[in-house]
Amino acid sequence: MFFRQIQQHGDNFSYIIADPETRETAVIDSSYNATEIIKTIKSQSLLLKYIINTHGHSDHTAGNSELRSIFSAKIVSHSQSKTNSDLKVEDGEVLNIGKIAIRVLYTPGHTPESISLLVDKEKLFTGDTLFVGECGRTDLPGGNAKNLYESLFNKLLNLDDSVEVYPGHDYGSRPSSTIGYERKNNYVLQPRSLKDFVMFMSQP
């Protein structure tokens, strides 16, 4: 699999994944990194098929229209997203780029339309749901700590320890992690009841 983590401006991460045979490509969160994404796609002769947004916050979607205008790619977001999109997806749907399968995991909490993306059961793109050593905030409009609890504890932590974690921001001690490492070391993911988690998230 061709894979790049891109951080050109600020702390937002963008990701490029591509099938090396067909060159079909997906970008996850264009963010402020369009220039570097375009450069990479052109230099590697990639064929951009999907621009996938983990959620609608502008720091994740900022490069969408520039990428779409250059490459005839589809902007993809969850069905509840208000982002200008060509394709709306639901939990469990699978997008294919060549032989690579991108599974949509609906993980609301940071926002109502937040999704995570599991690529070939080995790489997980978590947007602002889970960071290295942290989780996304729930105090912005549409945020919901109860939903985030379900997303983290009953969805993402059900994945194998070996699954690699690629977050939407460079907030941690390193730019990526694994489910196993986060399960053990992320203070947000230590065992708590739903009630305790909601209380924990409401603390400043």
Contact between 126 and 78 (Cβ < 8 Å) = no
* Nearest position to Zn ion, beta carbon: 57
Nearer to Zn ion, 6 or 18 (CB): 6
169 near Zn ion, rule: CB under 5 A: no
Tell whether residue 29 is a contact of Zn ion (CB under 5 A).
no
Using rule CB under 5 A, residue 57 touches Zn ion: yes
Distance from C-alpha of 143 to C-alpha of 198, rounded to nearest angstrom: 12
The minimum distance between CB 152 and Zn ion, in angstroms, equals 15
- Binding Zn ion by CB under 5 A: which of 30, 128, 143, 197? 128
Cα dihedral across residues 57, 202, 175, 107: positive or negative:
negative
Segment contacting Zn ion (CB under 5 A): 2-10, 38-46, 115-123, 128-136? 128-136
Pick 41 or 135: Cβ nearer Zn ion? 135
| Contact partners, residue 99, CB within 8 Å, separation at least 6 | 19, 21, 22
Q: Tokens 């205008």 map to which residue?
A: 69
**Phi, psi angles (nearest 5°) of residue 153:** -85, -35
Q: Residues interacting with Zn ion, by CB under 5 A?
A: 57, 128
